Amino acid sequence: MLGTRRGRGKDLVERLLDSALGPVCAIILITGAGGMFGAVLRASGIGDALSDALDGIGLPVIVAAYVIATALRIAQGSATVALITAAGLVQPVVQSGAFNGVELAAIVLALAAGSVTASHVNDSGFWLVGRFMEMDVKTTLKTWTVMQTTIGLMGFAIASGIYALA
pLDDT digits (tens, 9 = 90+) for 34-81: 667 767 766 777 766 766 776 678 789 999 999 989 988 888 888 888
Quickly list H helices, the chain: 2-5, 10-43, 46-57, 61-76, 79-96, 101-116, 124-132, 137-140, 146-165
Angstrom distance (rounded) from CA 87 to CA 155 = 16
Q: Are 92 and 48 in contact (CB under 8 A)?
A: yes
Q: Are 106 and 160 in contact (CB under 8 A)?
A: yes
Q: What is the pLDDT of residues 117-128, one digit of tens each?
A: 999 888 888 888
Number of domains in the chain: 1
For residue 76, the model assigns a pLDDT of 81
Q: Give the closest residue to 110 by CA, choosing from 164, 153, 51.
A: 153
| Containing structural domain, residue 129 | 2-165
pTM of the model: 0.73
Q: At what angle do helices 10-43 and 46-57 cross, to 10 degrees?
A: 50
